[in-house]
Amino acid sequence: MNSPPRGVPTATHTLREITDTFSRALKSGLETALSDQERATPEFDEHIENGTSAYQYLAKVERSHFKTSEAQRLRELIPDIEYWKEDVRIYAAAVESFRGNEPAMEGWRNLALGYRTLLLRLGISEQQVEQIRLSIENTRYWQLEAELFKMQSRLRENKLQERWRKQHERRKKQAAPQSLQIKQPSTREAAQECDQVSSRTRSKTRSGRVTKRGPQDQRGR
């Protein structure tokens, strides 16, 4: 009566099944994780299709873990001369190929700015880079630069003069009402002055009438 009916697993049997099931699930999960990792980072092969080297493909996979700007900054940590020579070669070739699609001046200007930036990144100061540029002996080069700065200096001077003129006019307009207030008396003072003038006029009129009546009165007497 105390034994379980047939078909009902015992506690030991149930525990074994649970353990086996958990082990299989854990093993399956580990295999899946390893498979995903292998797909994300493929094993090293000598060459991959389309002639792409294995290291190039591997670098592409690893670089995809970073944003483009961050990957570029990290690339700058590579201390190998040949590595950066390859960058220069490929970029120089790209400039030459794109030069037919854009104005030649822009291509050369961008190339010059790129080399200047490279010098700065190599640790050369701006003053030293400028000294390198000053060693150019092309007369037309310096003529173009002199004419540019001369024109820009005149434009700046004209802007400063125009700004000074506007400030001067604005100050004159601000000072004009104050000068009018100083010269013109107030309404009360003007009224008082008018009253004083009227009083003096009335007093003179009365005194004049008295003077004229005086002789007539004497004749009448």
Q: Report domain extents, the chain.
A: 35-77, 79-135, 138-185
CA dihedral 186, 192, 193, 196 (to 10 degrees): 180
pLDDT at 5 over 50: no
- Radius of gyration of the chain, Cα coordinates, nearest whole angstrom: 50
Q: Which amino acid is at 195?
A: D
Q: Taking all residues of the chain, what is their mean pLDDT, rounded to a whole number?
A: 72
Three-state SS for 87?
helix
C-alpha 200/C-alpha 197 separation (Å) is 5
pTM of structure = 0.37
For tokens 């007497």, the residue is: 221
C-alpha 14/C-alpha 11 separation (Å) is 5
pLDDT (0 to 100) of residue 127: 92
For the record, the structure tokens of 161 come out as 């003069």
pLDDT (0 to 100) of residue 11: 46
